[in-house]
Amino acid sequence: MQENFPDYTIRTKEFPFLLVKFASLFDASVKFIMPYWNREIVLDNSKSISILGMTYRDIKTTLIEGAQSMIDCGLIINKAKKSKKRGKNDETIDYSQATDQNDTVLVLTDD
C-alpha cells in the first residue's frame, strides 16, 4: 500500500491482546471479534462462482481503490498537508462536523 500512497504514512501494528480484551468489555463490536482472535478463517467462494457465475476482483486492487475512496471522501486526512501553514484566504476545514457520531476518521501522518 505504501507505494500507492507515498504522501501518507501507513502504520501496520497488531493491537495487544489484553488491550483488545479490555476494550471488548465496553464495546460490543470489539467483543464480537474476540472469538476470532489469532485464528485463521478459511472461506470458500467456489459455489458462488460455479452456481451464480460471480467473478471476484483482485484483493490488492480492491484495497487500493477503497483507500483512495476514503481519501476522496475525507475519511483519511493527510495530517502533513493539513498542518501546513495556511494563508489568510485559505479556508479552514472543521473535520468534527464532517461525519456522524458513529463514523471514524483516520488520520495519516508524514512521519
**pLDDT tens, residue by residue, 18-64:** 888 999 999 998 899 888 888 888 889 999 999 999 998 888 999 99
Task: Centre a 10 Å sphere on the Cβ of residue 77 and count the other Cβ atoms it contains.
Answer: 19
State the pLDDT confidence band at 103, using cuts at 50, 70 and 90.
low
Backbone φ and ψ of 77, nearest 5°: -110, 130
The overall pTM is greater than 0.85? no
Q: Helices (H) and strands (E) in the chain — how many of each?
A: 5, 2
Question: Does position 91 have pLDDT exceeding 60, yes or no?
Answer: no
pLDDT value at position 38? 84
Q: What is the C-alpha to C-alpha distance for residues 81 and 83, in angstroms, rounded to an integer?
A: 6
- Of the two residues 58 and 101, the one the predictor is more confident about is 58
pLDDT value at position 4? 84
